[in-house]
A and B are shown apart, each in its own frame.
Chain A
Amino acid sequence: MNYKRYLWSFLITSTIFATAIVISNKLNEAKLGQVRAMEDKMSIDILSLETQFDLLQELSCTQISNNSILSSELSNLAHKLSYMESQRGTSDAEVIRLKRKYSLLQIKDLLLIQKISAKCGTEPTVILYFYSNAGDCKDCTKQGYVLTKLGDEHNSLRVYSFDANLDMTALNTLLKIHNIGKTYPSLVINGETYKGFKSLDEIQKLLPQLSDTDTSTSSKKVEQDR
């Protein structure tokens, strides 16, 4: 019996396994880094726009629209965060931290959009979506697909999605303002709260401007012309 062979095989196997773990971690870290960078960019964009807004009350509405965050950026970041969550699990500390930051950025962007709307007289199409992935919302997956589809097809639509279980004071306030309670999915469309699943058709009926305005190809132009 050659016990050394057993030991050597153990060492080689462990080394291969450790290498695979290191490579996987490095690549996942790079992905998280990409999400972080996107959040940072968004954070700077929002801050910059806010500062511009405060400094120059007379800033032209066209300039503001040109500098605002595109809804495609919001949805791209949401997709990536959702993917990382599916890969690393809903309880992963780094994913939770990034989701919290993302939620705050969304709230800030929402407030800014409302300010711009008041100043420039625009009527942004906004949907607030509150979901739970704690296993208590069987329709949240379906609702997510509906909103992703709408977001992909209509760039003028701004979908802000919030994980209601993140336990953040700003988010809790938003939940209270819109009287969300514990029913998920919940949507806020045109300032009105709707509890339970809403299909593609139902949302399009609530937002008729979607059907006669843009699709993804023409939407950017519409947004920039505003």
Chain B
Amino acid sequence: MTVDTTLVYILLYISLYFEVFLLTSFITYKKQQKHSNKQSRNKLPTATIIVPCYNEEKTLGGTLDSLLALDYPKDKLKIAVVNDGSKDKTQQIAEYFATRHSQIKVLNKKNGGKASAMNLALKHCNTELVGCLDADSFVEPNALLLMTKHFMHDSNISAVTPAIMVHKPKNILQLMQRAEYMVGVFMRRAFDMLDAIVVTPGPFTIFRREHILSISNNGTNVWRHAHGTEDYEMGLRLQHNHKKIANEPMAKVLTISPKTLYALYRQRIRWVYGFLMNTIDYRHMIGNKRYGNVGLFVLPFALISVVGATTLFGILIYKTINSLIDFYTRVSTVGISWSMFNIEWFYINTSTSIFIMLTLLSIIFTILYYSAQMSKTKVRILDTLVYILLYGFISPLWLTGATARAITKSESKWRVIR
């Protein structure tokens, strides 16, 4: 067995172990989950939703409309729009909404990034819960109510994450992302069951204010720049302080996903770079059993997945180039003939890796089925096919790009906010 084949088998084994672990955890816990949906509206906690924005004139209105439509007592819900030095009509739109809805408060500041916008709003907030909604996302009316249920049932819970889905996909790339986000719905739920959620996403994660203040220096600098991924750092910090993060898969948040490959690449480079750098910052948690499944499972496997996918991508590129050279040699030597395409069963690849890949694919189908079931949506065959055919080939682009940036420590400066 050659070195590259051995490496592929090791990575396939690790990938399979990861999926099996999550699926078995999910199936065994699924039977134990029983929450009461009955709760008195009088006892609901007060909440502030912060909407940090920078040049969001196109989507801010929709975001605020969705927040105003939340099924939550108006006297218990406040909305803080932080205009982070926008150069477009974001401020006018925010103020227009504020004049018509007393729940909304607008804060203007010089541009300083999402973390600084969140910290400013937190200073003006005195509610029990505080959340964030990026100005390119929209919540479903029952989302907040479903999420507060967790805070009311368990006083140890510090944060609750929603199910994030793609808003009105229009092209193949967005269909692929819709399936990817559906896998994310399952992952977040499975990690919740393992007490191992490490990301508190910008689109509508709700926090217990007291808890996040307690893990920050005297309540200042609660959100940190954190290499451009403050939501990951916040999740890691909560886990580091042994705080509980839950997930509510039926609380749906719709987000606008990048339309072009370049925009997607830029977004993911930032995510993966932030993941790598923050993981390095919290490296003492890796393999440390004090942090439970976060230390022993999530962080090691997430790191391996970045390194593994990058390695597999390298092998794939090498093999593809070899095949293309071979094909070119053949065509330039003897031209094209039908004998090149032999369909006899003998020539079908029956290597072990093919069977493992088929198993991995069937697990992904199962995951998508459970995601759809949990979030009460349907499995979309087209999305799934696009995801399976495209994702494996294009995701290594940003994985390798971000790894290179992490090695050279050149942070993405493409986005100030979000």
Residues of B within 8 A of A21 (CB): 352
Q: Which of A23, A146, A200 contacts B355 (CB 8 A)?
A: A23
Question: Is B333 touching A17 in the complex (CB atoms < 8 A)?
Answer: no
Question: Is B292 touching A200 in the complex (CB atoms < 8 A)?
Answer: no
Q: Which of B1-55 contact A (CB under 8 A)?
A: 1-2, 13, 16-17, 20-21, 24-25, 28
A20 to B329, CA, bound (A): 34
Q: Would you call A87 an interface residue if the criterion is a C-beta within 8 Å of the partner chain's C-beta atoms?
A: yes
Question: Is B339 touching A142 in the complex (CB atoms < 8 A)?
Answer: no
A87 to B346, CA, bound (A): 11
State the Cβ distance, A151 to closest chain B Cβ, in Å: 10
Q: Which of A49-81 contact B (CB under 8 A)?
A: 79-80
Q: Which of B232-279 contact A (CB under 8 A)?
A: none
Q: Which of B330-347 contact A (CB under 8 A)?
A: 330, 333-335, 337, 339, 342, 346-347
Q: Would you call B351 an interface residue if the criterion is a C-beta within 8 Å of the partner chain's C-beta atoms?
A: yes
Residues of A within 8 A of B293 (CB): 1
Q: Would you call B217 an interface residue if the criterion is a C-beta within 8 Å of the partner chain's C-beta atoms?
A: no
Interface residue stretch chosen among A5-13, A167-175, A188-196: A5-13
Most B C-beta atoms less than 10 A away, residue of A34, A83, A149: A149
Question: Is B334 touching A20 in the complex (CB atoms < 8 A)?
Answer: no
Q: With contacts A1-B289, A145-B334 known, is A24 near B350, CB below 8 A?
A: yes
A149 to B338, CA, bound (A): 10
State the Cβ distance, B13 to closest chain A Cβ, in Å: 6
Q: Is the interface of B mostly helix, strand, loop or mixed?
A: helix
A contacts with B, residue count (CB < 8 A): 33
Q: Which of A143-175 contact B (CB under 8 A)?
A: 145-146, 148-149, 152
Q: With contacts A16-B359, A23-B355, A145-B329 known, is A200 near B20, CB below 8 A?
A: no
Q: Would you call B125 an interface residue if the criterion is a C-beta within 8 Å of the partner chain's C-beta atoms?
A: no
Q: Would you call B326 an interface residue if the criterion is a C-beta within 8 Å of the partner chain's C-beta atoms?
A: yes
Residues of B within 8 A of A145 (CB): 329-330, 333-334
Residues of A within 8 A of B356 (CB): 16-17, 20
Q: Would you call A44 an interface residue if the criterion is a C-beta within 8 Å of the partner chain's C-beta atoms?
A: no
Question: Is B346 touching A13 in the complex (CB atoms < 8 A)?
Answer: no
Q: Would you call A27 an interface residue if the criterion is a C-beta within 8 Å of the partner chain's C-beta atoms?
A: yes
Question: Is B355 touching A24 in the complex (CB atoms < 8 A)?
Answer: yes
Residues of A within 8 A of B28 (CB): 5
Name the CB-closest residue of B to A27.
B350
Residues of B within 8 A of A19 (CB): 355
Q: Would you call A141 an interface residue if the criterion is a C-beta within 8 Å of the partner chain's C-beta atoms?
A: yes
Q: With contacts A16-B20, A23-B355 known, is A200 near B25, CB below 8 A?
A: no
Q: Which of A1, A8, A9, A83 contacts B346 (CB 8 A)?
A: A83
Question: Is B334 touching A149 in the complex (CB atoms < 8 A)?
Answer: yes
Name the CB-closest residue of B to A13.
B17
Q: Which of B21, B330, B349 contacts A9 (CB 8 A)?
A: B21
Residues of B within 8 A of A20 (CB): 352, 355-356, 359
Residues of A within 8 A of B330 (CB): 145
Q: With contacts A20-B356, A28-B350, A149-B337 known, is A13 near B13, CB below 8 A?
A: yes
State the Cβ distance, B361 to closest chain A Cβ, in Å: 13
Interface string of B305-345 (1 = CB under 8 A from A): 00000000000000000000010011001110101001000
Q: With contacts A21-B352, A24-B351 known, is A16 near B16, CB below 8 A?
A: yes
Interface string of A120-149 (1 = CB under 8 A from B): 000000000000000000000110011011
Residues of B within 8 A of A146 (CB): 333-334
Name the CB-closest residue of B to A149.
B334
Question: Is B16 touching A87 in the complex (CB atoms < 8 A)?
Answer: no
Q: Which of B20, B292, B326, B339 contacts A141 (CB 8 A)?
A: B326
Q: With contacts A17-B356, A20-B352, A200-B334 known, is A141 near B329, CB below 8 A?
A: yes
Residues of A within 8 A of B346 (CB): 31, 34, 80, 83
A146 to B41, CA, bound (A): 81
Question: Is B17 touching A10 in the complex (CB atoms < 8 A)?
Answer: yes
Interface string of A17-37 (1 = CB under 8 A from B): 101110110011001001000
Residues of B within 8 A of A141 (CB): 326, 329
Residues of A within 8 A of B347 (CB): 83
A7 to B243, CA, bound (A): 26
Name the CB-closest residue of A to B16.
A13
Residues of B within 8 A of A28 (CB): 350
State the Cβ distance, B338 to closest chain A Cβ, in Å: 9
Question: Is B2 touching A89 in the complex (CB atoms < 8 A)?
Answer: yes
A209 to B233, CA, bound (A): 77
A87 to B293, CA, bound (A): 39
Question: Is B334 touching A9 in the complex (CB atoms < 8 A)?
Answer: no
Q: With contacts A10-B17, A141-B326 known, is A200 near B333, CB below 8 A?
A: yes
Question: Closest 8 CB pairs between A and B?
Answer: A20-B355, A27-B350, A9-B21, A149-B334, A24-B352, A13-B17, A142-B333, A20-B352
Q: List 16 A-B contacts (CB under 8 A).
A: A1-B293, A1-B296, A6-B21, A8-B24, A13-B16, A16-B356, A19-B355, A20-B352, A21-B352, A24-B355, A27-B350, A87-B349, A145-B330, A146-B334, A149-B335, A152-B339
> Given known contacts A5-B28, A23-B350, A80-B346, what 7 new A-B pairs fall within 8 Å (CB)?
A9-B20, A12-B20, A20-B352, A21-B352, A31-B350, A141-B326, A149-B335
